Amino acid sequence: MRIVEYAPMVPPITQPGAWYVESFGEMYPLLYRHRDDESAAAEVRGLVGLMGVAPAARMLDICCGNGRHMATLLDMGFDVTGVDLSEAQLRRAAEREGFDGRLVQADVRDLPFDACFDAAVNLFTSFGYFESDDENAAALRQMARVLRAGGVLAMDLINRENLERIFEPLTRDEIDGVTVESRRSLTDQRSYKHTTVTDGDGRVHTFKESVRLYRPGEIAALFADAGLGDVRMYGDYHGRAFEPDAPRMIVIGTRV
């Protein structure tokens, strides 16, 4: 079985040691064990309805991870390709039935596709990872570029106002003999998390996250700059109105 179809990054723009390189390795499933296939299936089925795309459309799952959203999209009849930077995540995705030849390793700022997709999704807060606003904007332009005219992009982001309401600066869990402690902080523009994992042998592993937080007007302007019109926002995957206490900020735009 072909595990991963590697796409060249020319020039190489991902720097070794960047948090998004280090944090999506072998321990990622432990840190996000609550994000499972069942929840992903419910999210995808709701989102597809909001996007208005028909089964058999060609779709790109950007930052596909281990393929939990891709699996449902395939079951629904979409012609799906998944792209991610993490080799560890792509290896897990490649173990799924029907994924052979559908996985590409690439940096989101340099997607190796032409404008060939009818739709694209970028889910589970997989945008805003770069420290530079220009780099994040460039990533969104790449997502829009690979869409055909009339193609639809759906992005799932943190609702900043809701995050501020439920914010917990420190959490600590015990999972099968493993201790996971996460310390969080917020600034005006970013959310930071520093996680320490102590395994059963006493070894300590540390992981960092740094994600840009967008207000509705900011993300709408970025969509417009990327050539995406008819921008709509929802508060969850099932079409809830976007409001301060909505759990997510789902943004959908159409390639002009």
Domains and CATH numbers, the chain: 15-159+214-255 (3.40.50.150), 163-208 (no CATH)
pTM as predicted: 0.91
Read off the pLDDT of residues 53-62 as tens digits, 9 standing for 90 and up.
998 999 999 9
Instruction: Give the CA count within 13 Å in the CB-facing half-sphere of 62.
Output: 29
Give the residue-averaged pLDDT of 162-177.
91
Do 38 and 103 form a contact (C-beta atoms < 8 A)? no
So what's the pLDDT on residue 57? Answer: 97
More confident residue, 132 or 13: 132
Separation between Cα atoms, residue 143 and residue 151, nearest integer Å: 11
Separation between Cα atoms, residue 20 and residue 206, nearest integer Å: 13
So what's the pLDDT on residue 83? Answer: 97
Separation between Cα atoms, residue 110 and residue 195, nearest integer Å: 29
Do 105 and 83 form a contact (C-beta atoms < 8 A)? yes
So what's the pLDDT on residue 14? Answer: 58
Read off the pLDDT of residues 8-51 as tens digits, 9 standing for 90 and up.
444 445 566 788 888 776 666 666 666 688 999 999 999 999 99
Read off the pLDDT of residues 138-160 as tens digits, 9 standing for 90 and up.
999 999 999 999 999 999 999 99
Comparing CA positions, the residue from 235, 192, 200, 208 lying closest to residue 22 is: 208
